Structure 1
Amino acid sequence: MQQVQGQQSTSQTVVNGCFSSKGGDIDLEASNSTADSDSSCAGGLMVASSNASFPERLMEPSLVLVEVNVPPSCLLDGVDSQQSFGTGVILHHARGMGLVAVDKNTVKVSASDIVLSFAAFPIEIPGQVVFLHPVYNYALVCYDPSALGTVGLSKVRAAEVLPEPALCRGDPVHLVVLTRNLRAKSRKSKVTNSFVSLSLGYEVDILVGTDVRDGNGTTRVINWCGSLVQDPYPAVRALGFLPKGGGAYVTRWHRGSPADRYGLRARRWIVEVNGKPTPDLDAFVNVTKELGSEEFVRVKTISLDGRPSVLTLKQDLHYWPTWEVRFDPDSALWRRSTIKALHYSNP
């Protein structure tokens, strides 16, 4: 939240790209006539256009366009698209490190290639996901400010975030975002509480379990017979059903793979392989790595609504070897390793 004292008699507040006013009505668009309307260009990029509103000019140096590309082998947690774009807000900007906050609808998983484009300076630099909040809908991406150069380092600035005054329901705000051509756009809105429509005044007794979460998100995925298998992620666990004894969750499958050919689809748990239980990924790996190529395998699965089913598929380790991708917290890198594949020897 950034406090701004302008020519008006009231204080104005910016919250992560949202602008609000307290203490009276202000015509923000009218402030264009009193503010400096000169536009500054760097390499042909318009940084602040003359017809931009006050919230847009205020937030533009702190906004970043975040481009996300997820490798096909890392489409975890039900991610439905390999590419996404969104607006991020710079929270920290110094020579040592830069930090950007962005919504998790843009950065869904940590196994992503990030490119940051700054509204205040025409340059693209790589970023790295360092935190995914397990409850709230935001992620943190870091970058190297030295890649901006001396000029870019001076033009880009961090938004000042303050805890007070807290926004309340009904407060007017201006939502500020970046377009794909790095132009700031805003619209007026009001703060609402998403839970108001659900608050009907009834008292309900529920049994709530505990869950261990961190900021890394999913850190391991296994490709077996063309299906991506992982631990169930929070959105799945929030549905309230987990198989008794656990299981390995299928989050995706590849076209043309044995999983596709024999009907091993996503959104179900693998609880047994050839009659052997697979309560977690380690047990699943231990069972499947003993299977040979071209061997028929009996797989028991349970769907999201608790319906069990049994299918048989045939392994093909030549075209579809078993491998895993795992996050290394020490190096902050994702590493791929082969669990089982066909090995040919020269005659």
Structure 2
Amino acid sequence: MTHHSSINGCLSADETAIQDVILSETSTFSEGDFEGWKACWLPHESTHIVYVSENAGLCVLRGWTEACKHMQHVFETKLQCNNTHYDKYDMAISIDDNSAIVTFDSTATGAEGIFTDTYETRFMRKTPQGWKIAHSNVIVKVRKQSSVASLAVDRSGHVIWTNEATREKLTSHPVFSISSGRLRANRLAWDKVLQSALKNASLYHGHFEMTRFIEQNDGPFRCPVVLGETDEGCVAVVCLNVRDSATYVQFDLDDVVERKLAIAQTVFGLSEGQTNVARHVASGQGLKCIANELGISVNTVRTHLTRIYEKTGVNSQTALVRLLLSVA
């Protein structure tokens, strides 16, 4: 396991000691060293451990008795995170006599390729045995398979996070690239659509804006953006998701397409063959590629498309993808 941290400026003796405790708590947890982990904490009933994540919701361990018992079970059953690399950055330490508040961002990559991004807070107390953690808040922002191609942009449209799968994909992507720190489409008209969509998504980066959006739309902001049809007959499309005060751009839409197709097949009465063609069109494939994938002729693909157009009321692949991805 590797572990790195960053903090601005020179550290005082207390700041160094505090940082060492925080890093030790993480490393002993990952290594399965329960006694080492326990030594980082204040053994008092005012001690709390709080976890918040989208998947698991809220978990609060109230008091050292409950926290210690629960965490001992975690260590004994080896339930702790199987992470191989940690980074803590933007760490800020504020000390007042024998108390301190520490905030930082943290990222971790697991052996299974799962990427985790968290915002964390520690309340520290200075004891005769040194600085101890009295309260811990861990808020999980992102926990995704790092093999899924996606990136995140901030309110101004600048890329603030990518994974290796995305970087590899963008080196030879026929439609998208990163230029001057921003995601761009390679055609001016398409780029205008993309930038407009990113700007619109940024309106919901705030907590209260997103809360109101969810109340009015029965779910968080999720918007497919269809740019147009390429020279090869493929449809250029991405999906925008807003969470954690950022817009996430997803390039691989297979999961989105499958959910939408299941609804569209029923709504429009698509046959199995028509649904298969629509699936490949929505995934950005051209007619020849679709024919090869399905083992049929290009003319048969065109026939299926004609029937799909008649049933859905659209007359182009671009319009079809836009319709399919907008199905509720």
- Calculate the TM-score normalised by the size of structure 1: 0.27
- Calculate the TM-score normalised by the size of structure 2: 0.28
Higher relative contact order (CA 8 A, sep 6+): 1
Task: Flag the structure with higher helix content.
Answer: 2
